[in-house]
């Protein structure tokens, strides 16, 4: 079974600084996909970034980048130039192709951006 | 035009009641899901349907019954509600190349 671990339950970051959110995963699949979602206090789940296991380059989407280290089974999210609106819960997730393509989520990291 | 819409957004009900949550997606996705987010924010899959066929049923009490009348709709019916059912329920849909799109969630409070 797949497992996603986010070891940082919460963290503070100064506005305009970068922050790295850790995510490690465990899977026996050769082909898999990793996702990051943001959940602000309003509750919706907002897709941020995706990394495929065979992608040779790290994914980037605006201020979001994914530091994918396949051998270490880690997929850390880097948010550059933090803004107050980045304060939210962040979830790492993995697609389980063998189980109906369900997403398995980590426990989340709460980020609070300080002005 | 909302991609994945679920109703109601909030649901407060007494123990023992039966309630339903509806979900519709207009993305043309083949697969739809129900996830439960508990009070500690942990998200866990409950059910998945692909083209109206049940694919995943994850150790959910049989008081929970999903129904998919067509591939654009996946409803969740809950019988005999218990206090522990209080949570946020998310509907989602997916297609391989598109990724996953979540609804805005339904906050269920059982009193």
Q: Over the stretch A76-93, which tens digit does the pLDDT of each residue have?
A: 999 999 999 999 999 999
Contact B43 A102 (CB under 8 A): no
Contact B104 A100 (CB under 8 A): no
Q: Tens digit of pLDDT for each residue in B9-39?
A: 999 999 999 999 999 999 999 999 999 999 9
Question: Is the pLDDT confidence value at A5 over 90?
Answer: yes
How many Cβ atoms are within 10 Å of B57's Cβ, its own excluded?
14
The fraction of chain A above a pLDDT of 70, given in percent, is 100
Residues of chain A found within 8 Å of residue B88, distances taken between Cβ atoms: 43
Nearest-Cα distance to chain B for A33, in Å, is 9
Instruction: Identify the sign of the CA torsion B110, B70, A105, B56.
Output: positive
The fraction of chain B above a pLDDT of 70, given in percent, is 97
Task: For residue B60, name the pLDDT band (cuts at 50, 70, 90).
Answer: confident
Question: Is the pLDDT confidence value at B97 over 90?
Answer: no
Return d(Cα A67, Cα A12) in angstroms, integer.
Answer: 20
Taking CA atoms, A8 is separated from A23, A39, A65, A91, B48, in Å, by: 9, 16, 18, 11, 29
Q: Which long-range contacts (C-beta less than 8 Å, at least 24 apart) are formed by A58-66?
A: A64/A36, A66/A34, A66/A36
Task: For residue A99, name the pLDDT band (cuts at 50, 70, 90).
Answer: confident
Show the tokens assigned to B70.
Answer: 């067509």
- Cβ atoms of A101 and B94 within 8 Å: the answer is yes
Task: For residue B98, name the pLDDT band (cuts at 50, 70, 90).
Answer: low
Q: Are strands A33-39 and A46-52 parallel, antiparallel or unpaired?
A: antiparallel
Contact B99 A47 (CB under 8 A): yes
Question: Is the pLDDT confidence value at A2 over 90?
Answer: no
- Cβ atoms of A90 and A37 within 8 Å: the answer is yes
DSSP assignments along A22-56, one per residue: --EEE---SS-EEEEEEE-TT---EEEEEEETT-S
pLDDT score recorded for residue A29: 87
* A 27-86 residues with CB < 8 A to B: 35, 37, 39, 43-45, 47, 50
Question: Average of pLDDT values for B67-87?
Answer: 95
Higher-confidence residue: B72 or A98?
B72
Task: For residue A31, name the pLDDT band (cuts at 50, 70, 90).
Answer: confident
């Amino acid at each position: 079974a797949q497992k996603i671990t986010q070891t940082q339950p919460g963290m503070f970051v100064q506005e305009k600084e970068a922050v790295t959110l850790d995510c490690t995963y465990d899977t026996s699949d050769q082909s898999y996909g990793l996702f990051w979602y943001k959940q602000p206090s309003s509750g919706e789940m907002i897709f941020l970034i995706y990394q495929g296991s065979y992608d040779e380059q790290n994914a980037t989407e605006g201020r979001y980048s994914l530091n994918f280290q396949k051998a270490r089974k880690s997929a850390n999210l880097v948010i550059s130039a933090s803004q107050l609106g980045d304060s939210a819960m962040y979830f790492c997730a993995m697609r389980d192709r063998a189980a109906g393509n369900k997403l398995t989520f980590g426990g989340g990291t709460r980020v609070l951006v300080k002005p | 035009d909302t991609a994945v819409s679920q109703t109601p957004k909030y649901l407060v009900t007494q123990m023992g009641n039966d309630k339903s949550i509806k979900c519709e997606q207009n993305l043309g996705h083949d697969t739809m899901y129900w996830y439960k987010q508990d009070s500690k924010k942990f998200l866990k899959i409950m059910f998945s349907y692909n083209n109206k066929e049940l694919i995943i049923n994850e150790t959910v009490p049989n008081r929970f019954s999903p129904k998919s009348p067509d591939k654009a709709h996946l409803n969740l019916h809950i019988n005999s509600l218990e206090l522990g059912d209080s949570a946020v329920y998310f509907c989602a849909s997916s297609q391989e190349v598109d990724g996953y799109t979540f609804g805005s969630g339904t906050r269920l409070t059982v009193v």
